[in-house]
Structure 1
Amino acid sequence: MNEPRRDDIPGWGRGAAWTDPGAPSVGRTLATSLAELGVERAFGVLGGGIAPFAAGLAASPIRFLHTRHEAGAVFAAIEAHFATGRPALAVVTTGPGLFNALGGVMAARADGARLLLVSGATARTLVGRGAVQETSAHHLPGGLGQAGAMFHAAWQPESVDELPAIVSALAQGWGRPGGFVAHLALPLTLQTQLVGPDTQLTPPRWHQALPEPDPRVLDLVLDRLGGRAVVWVGHGARAAGPELATFVRAAQLPVLTTPRAKGVFPERDPLHLGVSGTGSSAGVDSFLAARPLDGALVLGTRLGEVSSLLSPRVVPRAGWVHVDLDPTAFAAAFPGTAGLGVVADCGRFLAALHVRATATGWYRRAHHPPMLLEAEPTAPSPRPDGDVGPAYLMHVVQELVVDGSNAVVMSEAGNAFSWCNHALRFASPGRYRTSAAWGSMGHFSAGAIGAAAAADRPVVAVVGDGAMLMNNEINTAVAYGLRVVWIVLNDAQLGLNQHGMTALGMTPVETQLPRTDFATFARCQGAIGLTVEREPELAPALAQALALPGPVVVDVRIDPTVPAPIVADRIRGLLAQGGGR
């Protein structure tokens, strides 16, 4: 049997009019509109169902990076957004391509990202006829093709005339405060069309203004912040650091931060109590256990389980004062509790609160009892023998990465984010990323490449071996020369499951993993791989990794017997949910 030659195939290499790089194809025109809305980078996995759009995308101002899995593409897009504040684009094909992206989409929605997922779709004329990877409203769950819990908006246009309204809706969605996640499903019949001169896809400019805080509301808030009160800061207040510092320092109010808000207020400031929720410090637990709070000003957080452990002891006696752009956040985690909800931007609200407190003399009258501050932990010395202790690893990461570089630190769901939340201290926002409500393993082992591609700074991802086996984009990082350092907590087990089940009196079920040589795994893909087996080897290896220009995997043999700080808190929560003691 003779193999076919390309020259023998009729039409090979002869493109239609829409394939010309200068042609006003739907892909090129739409991508140019997205660039005008602020999109700079796209991540995705291509296939036949999305190829014409991708060809147009390549001829646009947007830089496209091809990942190795659709989930990695969406996670990378999320982190590109949070690294720059710009909306991001993920591109996938039909059927499996779309479904593989859905875990990332849910993470984007939970984290409040601005993201557009563009997927291929089956034209209506082919629905029900057995098209390959048929993808239509008739074959998909309703949430994929309409607005709901997954997407703020979703469209499947069939004609060019529908595109201006879609671009306008995107402009409004991305122009409003908060996150906006959308899905645009493009059938091939539309992707291969040309956009005529009468169709304008120039996005309209939208900015949604919020009203200034009412002085009467400001007075009510100040009245509730006397006595034993705290300011509890969440991810939604990440841009309000200067206003927060001005107010709490003038008021001498202590500050709690949720894990995703680390660095919004300097964590070594005397007024910083610590991180709440998952991985919280002993000082925070002692403060909350001593006696009930009189008041709490909650800024930009829903106070879900990762932020509050859903503990009833955090509910203030005077009720919540809750400031958020989303009114559904008010008391969402603590139904039945009273409070005052204020729909406002946290920074503008704090600025107005400071002006009001100054003008009314509230700062002079307010009295807040002194706090018992937690002492800085003593710097540990490296043990000459045995596996690396996770506390010592955190000490070295603090010294070399957090304090000694400008790298963004990311922590993966599981033991990694519990240790990082608990032990690392940041002085400014934008240096730390972790997931909260969704907590997908593989988010940051893959998503780190998005931040590295979008921001001109290195990224250090602290991940577990289970997550690294589940999803990683080392090969993609090599392809694009991205400055990512993966620190793999290699304990040859699913550590959080192992310790959690043991603590609950259960026999761990299939938590052990074959030991993986992640350094060799990295090297076989073209990255640098370093192995750390003892604590004295850790600092030199990490310093070397930070000095290298491309992707590096640091395989750290972690002591498997040490449970993460999350275990005790998580056990209490599971027992409460399951009716245990």
Structure 2
Amino acid sequence: MTQKYTDSNSQNSSNDLYRELSSTDNRYLESSANGSHPMDDLEVDRIIQPLSSDDFNPTLSVADTIVQMLVKLGVCNAFGVAGGAMASLWNALSNSTLQVLNFRHEAGAAFAAVEAHFASDRPTVVFTTAGPGITNALTGLFAARGEGAKVILLSACTSAPQRGRWAIQETSSYTLPSGGMFTPGALFNYAITIESAAQLPQIFRKLALGLAQPGGFVAHLSIPTGVQTSLVEGISWPQLDVAAYRVTAKPEKIAKSAMLLFSEPFAIWVGFGARHAAEEIRQLAEKTGAAVMCSPRGKGIFPENHPQFVGVTGLGGDASVTTYMEQQPPARTLVLGTRLGEPTSFWNQAMIPQKGFVHVDIDPEVPGVAYPHANTFSIQSDIKTYLQELLKYLPDTACADASSLPHPQPEAIAPAPDYPVRPEILMAAIQKIVVEGSDAVVLAECGNSFTWATHCLRFTTPHRYRVSTGVGAMGHAVTGVVGAAQAQNSKAVAIVGDGAMLMNNEISTAVKYQIPAVWIVLNDARYNMCHQGMKVLGLQGADAEMPPTNFAMIARGMGAEGVVVENESDVEAALEQAIAAKVPFVVDVMIDPDRPAPSGGRNKSLAAQGVKSTTTKKTAHQVSFPCV
């Protein structure tokens, strides 16, 4: 179904005319011209409002006009930190129909924008002032590109007459490298410094085309302080009517993939890029009897309680996947929307089926990279379109019996003293109260929080679980949860470590805007993935401990609510209180720091890359270091 993004206040919205773009050639995009490619995720159809000269008042400033362009592009939310160099732009944003959230740190604003995009499926905006405003946001924008989000950065820069004269927070080629920050490259699909209002029509076209393409799109518009207030006069705005399009494979390639898959038993490996094709994946699996596994980011796309689900692969994954590959190996594996990178596969050779992969992705450079020596039949297509065509080739024969497939099994939890809280007890309570008892989106921070949540929690629907596996920056979930909750106007829950909470949380922002975010803190007074990892590697002397912190007290000091949980018997009641709260809430859980995280696969991957451990097999624990 096509989802139209329109400005609800536009008088012309009911009369918009749209056209579909069906071409698979997106070489006209700035991103492709500079060697970058779409991320391996799939977007539902997004339609940009047509734009013409009637939409703009010639007395508007450049800043006001840029904001109008953003509204036309379907943006609803802007996250950032203001400053003097972008005062006019900040004013234009604040007096528009956009919801503008002023954050405490630009990195947090960027992470929130990423998660707001995935929660709403709309493009989002990050705004910063010059100099450190831009550099502070770079990690979050790096994550936006890595996660495949659609995010536009608006930043201020020094006006041309003042460049090279040591202006306050000077932002120019004298102080910052222009390549990659103000031009397209590895960080931005599209980037430009706006020196004149005459550039705006072409910039709008570039943005509209970029947002219409499948996959992620991260752009940077840098607006000099003086240009922000200049008037938009004498500009011709051509009619611009852009619709989202899908990348589709040639019929002969789909037919060949059907022959390869349906001739022998095969498995399905589901990644985050397949999140909009859940129904088609389920149809394919149930009609063929194929076993299904998923990446950490792909949890819930195929129900984890389904009899054909064999487990999660990679970091925090399930031993049942290994059992399946050893005891009932498929002839081939159909890979859908995952790059099969280290967090998903650990490049484990045991994951290569005898006859190789059929790998589907919108980025033609993805298939074959993770396993370059494996036989890979690659298909460039978005996942939903490919599966809709593949299902037409299904044979009439009965599907294979899936009753003997292995499944992830919850590990028995032995009785123990009520204090401190064991992480697996906490996860069981989160499963009951948050996952099954609410509709909240759940985010997990990198580190042990990632591995415990990925390993223990089970989801039966897509769009409920978010982790970052490419960048894996600390501070992503503790700030991203605010964007997720705000964008969907409902609960979002972040499972995080104490180190991440001390690094960069946005409790104050959530309080200001009364955003119903919940933080569940695994409080062990350590960077515990580092602590446990160094120990298992036999490396001594590194200090990963930190002074104990009362995060519930900090939350209350900022105007939120919070509770400290010291006993396992109190965990469920605390979570119920957090889910029922109408205000931001912190659940500060004193966890057992010595419980080994379920991350053994990462250690094997590190060993394969040359990291040596001095521990013996008898003393080694299933610990991961570092997360990604």
**Aligned match of 1:491:** 524
8 Å CA contact retained: 2:289, 2:402: no
1:287 aligns with 2:320: no
**Aligned match of 1:158:** 195
Q: Distance in 2 between matches of 1:203 and 1:116?
A: 19
With over 3 angstroms needed to count, the CA separation of the structure-2 counterparts of 1:216 and 1:482, relative to structure 1, is closer
With over 3 angstroms needed to count, the CA separation of the structure-2 counterparts of 1:101 and 1:315, relative to structure 1, is same
Could you tell me the percent identity over the aligned residues?
A: 42
Q: Distance in 2 between matches of 1:483 and 1:414?
A: 24
1:81 aligns with 2:114: no
8 Å CA contact retained: 1:283, 1:374: yes
With over 3 angstroms needed to count, the CA separation of the structure-2 counterparts of 1:351 and 1:187, relative to structure 1, is same
* CA RMSD, Structure 1 to Structure 2 (Å): 2.0
Q: Which residue identity lines up with residue 574 of structure 1 in the other structure?
A: L
8 Å CA contact retained: 1:300, 1:323: yes
**Aligned match of 1:190:** 227
TM-score by length of 1: 0.92
1:465-518 CA distance string (max 9 Å, x none): 011111100000000001011000001101111111111111261111110000
Q: Distance in 2 between matches of 1:202 and 1:195?
A: 17
**Aligned match of 1:549:** 582
Query: Structure 2 matches for 1:87-106, cutoff 5 A?
Result: 87-106=123-142
Q: Distance in 2 between matches of 1:208 and 1:214?
A: 18
Query: Structure 2 matches for 1:270-419, cutoff 5 A?
Result: 270-290=307-327, 293-358=330-395, 361=396, 363-364=397-398, 367=400, 371-374=404-407, 376-377=409-410, 383-419=416-452
8 Å CA contact retained: 2:522, 2:589: yes
1:574 aligns with 2:606: yes
> Alignment length, in residue pairs?
556
Deviation at 1:290, TM superposition (A): 3.7
**Aligned match of 2:16:** none
Deviation at 1:125, TM superposition (A): 2.1
Q: Which residue identity lines up with residue 261 of structure 1 in the other structure?
A: G
- Identify which of 185, 204, 210 aligns with 1:173: 210
1:38-72 CA distance string (max 9 Å, x none): 10000000001111111111122111100000000
8 Å CA contact retained: 2:323, 2:406: no
Structure 2 counterpart SS, 1:24: coil
Deviation at 1:570, TM superposition (A): 1.4
**Aligned match of 1:13:** none
**Aligned match of 2:595:** 562
- Identify which of 498, 505, 513 aligns with 2:538: 505
Q: Distance in 1 between matches of 2:595 and 2:182?
A: 45
Deviation at 1:245, TM superposition (A): 0.5
Q: Distance in 2 between matches of 1:146 and 1:160?
A: 18
> Greater helix percent: which structure?
1
8 Å CA contact retained: 2:358, 2:377: yes
1:124 aligns with 2:146: no
Query: Structure 2 matches for 1:176-255, cutoff 5 A?
Result: 176-196=213-233, 198-200=235-237, 204-211=241-248, 213-215=250-252, 217-255=254-292
With over 3 angstroms needed to count, the CA separation of the structure-2 counterparts of 1:375 and 1:87, relative to structure 1, is closer
Q: Which residue identity lines up with residue 222 of structure 2 in the other structure?
A: A
8 Å CA contact retained: 2:320, 2:407: yes
1:61 aligns with 2:97: yes
Q: Distance in 1 between matches of 2:120 and 2:541?
A: 41
With over 3 angstroms needed to count, the CA separation of the structure-2 counterparts of 1:256 and 1:375, relative to structure 1, is closer
Q: Distance in 2 between matches of 1:546 and 1:577?
A: 43
Q: Distance in 2 between matches of 1:381 and 1:22?
A: 72
Deviation at 1:210, TM superposition (A): 3.1
Deviation at 1:120, TM superposition (A): 0.6
Query: Structure 2 matches for 1:404-553, cutoff 5 A?
Result: 404-507=437-540, 509-553=542-586
**Aligned match of 1:115:** 151
**Aligned match of 2:44:** none
Deviation at 1:208, TM superposition (A): 2.9
Structure 1 counterpart SS, 2:122: coil
Q: Distance in 2 between matches of 1:85 and 1:518?
A: 32
Q: Distance in 2 between matches of 1:555 and 1:22?
A: 54
Deviation at 1:381, TM superposition (A): 8.1
Deviation at 1:378, TM superposition (A): 6.8
With over 3 angstroms needed to count, the CA separation of the structure-2 counterparts of 1:160 and 1:220, relative to structure 1, is same
8 Å CA contact retained: 1:145, 1:154: yes
Structure 2 counterpart SS, 1:420: helix
Q: Distance in 2 between matches of 1:399 and 1:300?
A: 29
With over 3 angstroms needed to count, the CA separation of the structure-2 counterparts of 1:502 and 1:278, relative to structure 1, is same
Deviation at 1:430, TM superposition (A): 0.7
8 Å CA contact retained: 1:109, 1:181: yes
Structure 2 counterpart SS, 1:90: strand
Q: Which residue identity lines up with residue 346 of structure 1 in the other structure?
A: I
Q: Distance in 2 between matches of 1:126 and 1:335?
A: 51
Deviation at 1:252, TM superposition (A): 0.5
Q: Which residue identity lines up with residue 571 of structure 1 in the other structure?
A: N
